[in-house]
Chain A
Amino acid sequence: MAYSDKVIDHYENPRNVGSFEKGDDTVGTGMVGAPACGDVMKLQIKVNPETGVIEDARFKTYGCGSAIASSSLVTEWVKGKTLDEAAALKNSVIAEELALPPVKVHCSILAEDAIKAAVNDYRAKRGEAVAAE
């Protein structure tokens, strides 16, 4: 299977790899997927509590190149966005940007789920209302 140049670029040079301290109350963590299915994404956001703006993001992903690229791309996109803006991110935009073939669209869905999970985790930690799934 041929990968798009953008997928290869994110795979070769993944952005924002790493972890924040989970206990930090300005950090939201989303972990989605399952090892049995061949992909697990952990996405973390660091939020400015005053402005509600995401200041930084980190990821780690177990999965194919498209899964790694989807999560790497999302960490770039969410920086500077408000929580609502980040939670509104759609998988179709990710799939389009990375030119994912149909069999890899589930990777972009997983990335969307990961960011939503991270936003919800942050809000739950701070006692804010969590958006219903």
Chain B
Amino acid sequence: MDMTPHFPIYLDYGATTPCDPRVVDAMIPWLREHFGNAASRSHAWGWEAEEAIEKARTQVAELIGADPREIVWTSGATESDNLAIKGAAHFYQGKGKHLITVKTEHKAVLDTMRELERQGFEVTYLDVLENGLLDLDVFKAAIRPDTILASVMAVNNETGVIQDLNAIGAACRDKGVIFHVDAAQATGKMPLDMANMPIDLMSLASHKSYGPKGIGALYVRRKPRVRLEAQMHGGGHERGMRSGTLPTHQIVGMGEAFRIAKEEMQQDYAHAQRLQQRLLDGLKDIEQVFVNGDLAHRVPHNLNISFNYVEGESLIMGIKGLAVSSGSACTSASLEPSYVLRALGRSDELAHSSLRMTIGRFTTEEEIDYAITTIRQNVAKLRELSPLWEMYKDGVDLSTIQWAEH
């Protein structure tokens, strides 16, 4: 099989990040000589594995200001979302059967909610404002006496917009509603402090923060204690909340990745901020360009831009030197464009015309400059090809045309 090339330039850190070399180095011994099962209590192989896992648990807890006993290992943020939402809903269903979430959540939350609806729960899916932020008053108004849990993500995966977790969490506390946060895109990008934030459950991913894929964690608050019904049954690992032999090497990798994330967050943040600004400066004077999502309430690692009258997939095909993603439907099998951008009130055509560029620890200025050049060239070329651009230039208002939707 071919090795991954250094070209195209990787601007898709929101999809996944490479493992930091320090993470890989930390993992290897636990695949080689230190192969023991942490659940083996009768010999040294087990003891050393257990010790490594507890060290990693502390490293993960420290990044988010939690107690290590509040960390439950899972296979990733999707499983954490499932365990948090289904686990709490099943445990507390005697109290009520209503849940609240937001239309711009990741599918791991939305699909889990759909499953609970099939099981007889009721779910409210809230709209967001044009900048992608949740309106706190709308949120408060959605809380009912039978609401048991609300799930709102920290950082949106498509737009990078940060929700006001403190305010939303405070509203939940006020009404005795459990607050779950999907923080897959947030770790290492913004401060998270469970000692001082009103969050009860929080999903964590390793591979969005320079750790390996296939491992994640769920933060489960101890004071006040949040109870979950297990979704995976077996040997009673992780205090019975999630059975299954712990993958020592993966866990050690996530621990090391989160240790580095804590240590280097400021530096990573400043680096992303500088490059995001450079990218934005290089693109913002193009005609009919729109940034999707609030620019102030956003992690700097993300820039989501729509180039009006240029379809996203054709743009991605042109900018071959860049690995980016698009909110256009053509990249997937459906004809529906990004539901996240639609929820921001973007028209279908602007959603079809979007690029998501995500910057990370290893992105360089040269890569950003290359990206700017190739995007500008291809947008210009595709607009020459675009009948919509021609109509726009002729002063035709596209919204007045009767299109034959197919």
Contact = CB atoms under 8 A, between A and B. Distances in A.
A94 interface: no
Interface in B94-141: none
A116 B352 CA distance: 26
Contact of B390 (A19, A41, A65): A19
A132 interface: no
Given A64-B330, A68-B385, A35 B390 contact: no
B404 interface: yes
A20 B398 CA distance: 20
Interface stretch (B37-45, B161-169, B311-319): B311-319
A17 interface: yes
B348 interface: yes
Contacts of B389: 62
B310 A62 contact: yes
Contacts of B329: 38
Contacts of B384: 17
A62 B406 contact: no
A35 B333 CA distance: 17
Given A11-B317, A65-B313, A38 B337 contact: yes
A36 B314 contact: no
B294 interface: no
B387 A62 contact: yes
Contact of A35 (B314, B335, B385, B398): B398
B311 A38 contact: yes
Nearest to B386: A62
B347 A36 contact: yes
A39 B331 CA distance: 13
- Is chain B's binding surface mostly helix, strand, loop or mixed? helix
B404 A34 contact: yes
B398 A63 contact: no
B406 A3 contact: no
B349 A11 contact: no
A60 B386 contact: yes
B281 interface: no
Interface residues of A, number: 30
A13 B390 CA distance: 19
B386 A38 contact: no
Contacts of B403: 33-36, 40
A38 B405 CA distance: 10
A40 B387 contact: yes
A64 B313 contact: yes
Interface residues on B, range: 20 to 34
Interface string B331-364: 1010101000000000111001000000000000
B314 A63 contact: yes
Nearest to A14: B385
Contacts of A3: 317
A36 B405 contact: yes
Contacts of A42: 387, 390
B387 A68 contact: no
B228 interface: no
A27 B349 CA distance: 28
A60 B384 CA distance: 8
Interface in A57-109: 60-65, 67-68, 103, 106, 109
A103 B333 CA distance: 6
B387 A31 contact: yes
Given A64-B311, A64-B313, A65-B314, A37 B406 contact: yes
Contacts of A67: 311, 314
A36 B330 contact: no
B187 interface: no
Contacts of A115: none
Contacts of A32: 404, 406
Interface string B294-329: 000000000000000111011001100000000011
B63 to A, nearest CB: 37
Interface in A1-17: 1, 3, 11, 14, 17
B308 to A, nearest CB: 10
Contacts of A40: 387-388, 403
Given A36-B403, A103-B333, A64 B390 contact: no
A110 interface: yes
Contacts of B330: 38, 63-64
Nearest to A41: B387
B387 A60 contact: yes
12 contacts: A11-B317, A32-B404, A35-B347, A38-B337, A38-B348, A62-B386, A62-B388, A64-B314, A68-B385, A103-B333, A106-B335, A109-B406
Interface of A: 1, 3, 11, 14, 17, 19, 31-42, 60-65, 67-68, 103, 106, 109-110
Instruction: Report the 5 A-B pairs with minimum CB-CB distance, sorted nearest first.
Output: A34-B403, A36-B348, A35-B349, A42-B387, A60-B387
Given A38-B337, A65-B313, 10 more contacts: A34-B404, A35-B388, A36-B403, A38-B328, A38-B352, A60-B387, A62-B309, A64-B311, A64-B328, A67-B311
